[in-house]
Amino acid sequence: MPETTSSAASPECSANANGHPLEFIPFFRRFRRSFARDILYTAIWNTLFAILFFALGALFDTHAPLSRILGNTFIFAQCIGFAIHFGFFAGDRLLGARLARASKSLRTLYFAAIPVVCVFPGYLFALRLLGWDQSSAWGISPRDLLSLLLLALVITGLMLAIFIPRERAARAEAAIANEQARVAGAEKEATTARMKLLEAQVEPHFLYNTLAHVVSLIDHEPSNAKGMIERLIVLLRASASSAAGRGTLGAQVALLRAYLDIVELRMGARLTWRIDMPASLADIEVSPMLLQPIVENAVKHGLEPSVAGVEITIAARREGSILVLSVADTGRGFRATMPRATPGIGLANLRARLAAAYGDAASLMVEDVLPHGSRVTIAVPLASEPGPDKHGQRAFAAVS
């Protein structure tokens, strides 16, 4: 009337990873593993076997009282079942990681041997509880010995039927996890390379224009040319600091100040600008080059086409765990200067970099403002280090 239970071995990391045999029923996989839980599961498992053997006993032994059959099968099932349970418990503690590293044949032998060994002390303990006398000195008759051997083989077969498929599934899951980790690592490297490539597409455009402007000033306005070169040095230093890994909002603002100083030298009174960033936000880490392409767009599409002066306002604020960045200008507006069908490379690259860095957690909105001008707003999370979402999905809002 026995049953079997186990804290059986996992091929990957621990002899306990395969869990309890009762977990082949999905309901019992919902509860966290613990010693007390396994004891309860073993009692339930034993009781199921007791019910099975009670039904068989009632069917073939019609003269015995049902209450006696039920009591005897329950005691035998619990004693043998818990003997096997603690046999596996002791085996797991003694063998530990060595069992996890053992070959498949050795683990199969382990699953087969524990029930065969433990069924006998469980049976003897049940006999003592019931007060039954046996003919042999060991308390087991030859007929009982044969029955126990057959019973042990049945238990062994059940153990192997439960745990070998589970071990195969664990190996398959481990292989999938390793492959997913490898792919995630490759994707991270590709994402880093792609972000650097996208950033590099922004920087040369401004550098070439600035150097060309310096060349045009050298002969006629050498003092202005010198001032522009000095500001360009400041800009390149700030850019180098950002590339070296100082990905803070304060570093990006320093880069923008140097950039706008140079643009102001080129444009004169046509450009006014201000930056509204609380000092408490300066040390917040953000993905590099978030604001630079937006400010460049404000210059290109807001300032350059306008005859009158344009004001560019850069603002940063915190809304809970979200950092909100915005760049507004009083130029002609997004609709007039950048039709939806032909988005600028700066915004296209920014969308791609936001997608690579933050996934669904980031948003980008482009809109016209009244009476004239445009505003670009970015919202990114602050709670954790940026990274693509697990499904690779991207979500951005674009209103224009």
Dump the DSSP string for 100-141: HHS-HHHHHHHHHHHHHHHHHHHHHHHHHHHT---SSTTS--
Do 228 and 356 lie in one domain? The reply is: yes
Q: 19 falls in which pLDDT band (50, 70, 90)?
A: low
Residue 10 lies in a domain: no
Q: What is the mean predicted confidence (pLDDT) over 166-170?
A: 71
Q: What is the mean predicted confidence (pLDDT) over 136-163?
A: 66
Do 267 and 156 lie in one domain? The reply is: no
Do 250 and 375 lie in one domain? The reply is: yes
Do 151 and 243 lie in one domain? The reply is: no
Residue 190 lies in a domain: no
Q: What is the DSSP letter of 285?
A: B
Do 169 and 237 lie in one domain? The reply is: no
Residue 264 lies in a domain: yes
Please, are residues 231 and 258 in contact by the beta-carbon 8 Å criterion? yes
Q: Is 231 a residue whose pLDDT tops 70? A: yes
Structural domain count of the chain? 2
Of the three residues 132, 166, 181, the one that is the final residue of a domain is 181
Q: Structure pTM?
A: 0.48
Q: What is the mean predicted confidence (pLDDT) over 246-264?
A: 84
Do 230 and 169 lie in one domain? The reply is: no
Q: At 269, which CATH number?
A: 3.30.565.10
Residue 129 lies in a domain: yes
Q: Is 10 a residue whose pLDDT tops 50? A: no
Do 240 and 367 lie in one domain? The reply is: yes
For residue 37, give both structure tokens.
């839980």
Residue 203 lies in a domain: no
Residue 147 lies in a domain: yes
Residue 134 lies in a domain: yes
- 91: domain range? 21-181
Per-range mean pLDDT, top range of 78-92, 346-360, 373-387: 78-92
The pLDDT score that the predictor gives to residue 27 is: 83
The overall average pLDDT reported for the chain is 75
The pLDDT score that the predictor gives to residue 377 is: 94
| Prior bond of 222 cis (ω within 30°) | no
Do 230 and 153 lie in one domain? The reply is: no
Do 25 and 174 lie in one domain? The reply is: yes
The pLDDT score that the predictor gives to residue 326 is: 94
Lowest mean pLDDT among 47-51, 55-59, 167-171, 386-390: 386-390
Please, are residues 325 and 316 in contact by the beta-carbon 8 Å criterion? yes
Do 252 and 369 lie in one domain? The reply is: yes
Q: Determine the Cα–Cα distance for residues 79 and 121; give it in Å rounded to an integer.
A: 9
Residue 314 lies in a domain: yes
Do 225 and 177 lie in one domain? The reply is: no
Do 163 and 310 lie in one domain? The reply is: no
Where on the phi/psi map is residue 5: left (φ > 0), alpha (ψ -120 to 50), or beta? beta
Q: 336 falls in which pLDDT band (50, 70, 90)?
A: low
